[in-house]
Amino acid sequence: MRNSSKYLALLSLILLFSCNMSTTNLSDKIVIAHRGASGYVPEHTMESKAMAHAMNADYIEQDIVLSKDGIPIVIHDIYLEEVTDVALVYPERSREDGRFYVIDFNLDELMRLSVHERIDLSTKNAVFPNRYPLKKTSFRLHTLEDEIELIQGMNKSTGKNIGIYPEIKNPGFHRKQGKDISKIVLQVLTKKGYSKKSDACILQCFDAKELQRIRQELGCDLFLTQLLEFPQSLDDLEKYASFADAIGPSIEQLIMESVGKSLQEKKEFIERAHKLNLKVHAYTFRRDQHPNFENFEDLLEFGFNELELDGVFTDFPDTVVSFLEN
Ligand code: G3P
Ligand code: CA
């Protein structure tokens, strides 16, 4: 009897521990599903998000652009033609520059488009030829709200606590079109239960002025990530630390030799960020694109063990999850 109650107590402890392990914890290294499990299913489709959830990514990313009727849509670019059949469905709706802008279409019009693998506009070929076949699909665009409902719904049904990692795209462009994208996105996040740093949501933006405004003027209390783009300077860490909680440098800045900084300098940069209490979430780790490294595992080894990154954006969340588990 005593033995079996001891066994039960031990079992409950193990269960409790494994439950805690499956919740998001920013003190651990995190895996961010870049545009979903986009290495397997076209980026930013609901299907790619469901797959990323099943693969146990810690966070799932949403790039956000506004529609004409001011609704946050999950899509990487302000343009449509690299990932949808817009040129076939609405051939007359491009602007003078020949581009089809998300912001020129209402939500119901956007929902008529079919989403496919990303193409290179100059060749019309898939950017990543070994991924999902490039053909007409039944995949559709969707709103930020719809995606949050999917992730929260799957969190409930699986008992996981997978977070969201939305990115506000091109606030300057939206402002010129008369729209305050940050305000609108924050309203949706608050409505869906994300408003505090402890909530499973990290908000990111490349535009430092805008991220600072989000924190100071719009009073946002979420965990914020300042994205950095090669060849943007890595020298403004103190400034970023005054309003952000993490930085998101590109793999080119941190890893590729073309940046010209020594390994020691790169490591010191990350140490400096850590001393300023900034986490470092680097992008984008791809199994089918790992310049300077023989294989993906070597790149992950370098990123996590040598540079001591706190998290990575990846198109292949399953591979990175199993790398970290092992
Ligand atoms: O947001 C992190 C990473 O996704 C930034 O690059 O161009 O894929 O949005 P991009
Ligand atoms: Ca992004």
Please say if 76 is a catalytic residue. yes
Structure tokens at 282: 């680097």
pLDDT at 294: 92
Q: Is 123 among the domain residues?
A: no
Report whether residue 315 contacts ligand 1, using a CB cutoff of 6 Å.
no
Question: Is it the case that residue 322 has pLDDT exceeding 70?
Answer: yes
Q: How many domains does the chain have?
A: 1
Pick the catalytic residue: 76, 142, 281, 290? 76
Mean pLDDT over all residues of the chain?
91
Any idea which of 16-20, 21-25, 163-167 has the lowest mean pLDDT?
Answer: 16-20
Question: Is it the case that residue 183 has pLDDT exceeding 80?
Answer: yes
Q: Is 90 among the domain residues?
A: no
pLDDT at 3: 42
What pLDDT digit, counting tens, does each position of 218-273 carry?
999 999 999 998 766 667 899 999 999 999 999 888 876 555 677 888 888 899 99
Atom number in ligand 1 closest to CA 63: 9
Please say if 34 is a catalytic residue. yes
Domain membership of residue 199 as a residue range: 28-78+144-325
Q: Is 245 among the domain residues?
A: yes
Atom number in ligand 1 closest to CA 225: 1
Torsion of the alpha carbons at 187, 277, 262 and 229, rounded to the nearest 10: 10
pLDDT at 222: 98
What pLDDT digit, counting tens, does each position of 305-316 carry?
999 999 999 999
Which CATH number goes with the domain that contains 204? 3.20.20.190
Pick the catalytic residue: 34, 44, 53, 281? 34
Q: Is 8 among the domain residues?
A: no
Q: Is 129 among the domain residues?
A: no
pLDDT at 113: 98
Mode of pairing for the β-strands spanning 30-33 and 163-168: unpaired
pLDDT at 207: 97
Q: Is 153 among the domain residues?
A: yes
Cα gap 227→212, rounded to integer Å: 12
Contact by Cβ (8 Å): 32, 57: yes
Question: Is it the case that residue 94 has pLDDT exceeding 50?
Answer: yes
Report whether residue 43 contacts ligand 1, using a CB cutoff of 6 Å.
no
Question: Is it the case that residue 210 has pLDDT exceeding 90?
Answer: yes
Helices and strands: H and E segment counts in the chain:
13, 9
Q: Is 256 among the domain residues?
A: yes
| DSSP code of residue 253 | H
Using a pLDDT cut of 90, give the percent of the chain over it. 81
Q: Is 239 among the domain residues?
A: yes
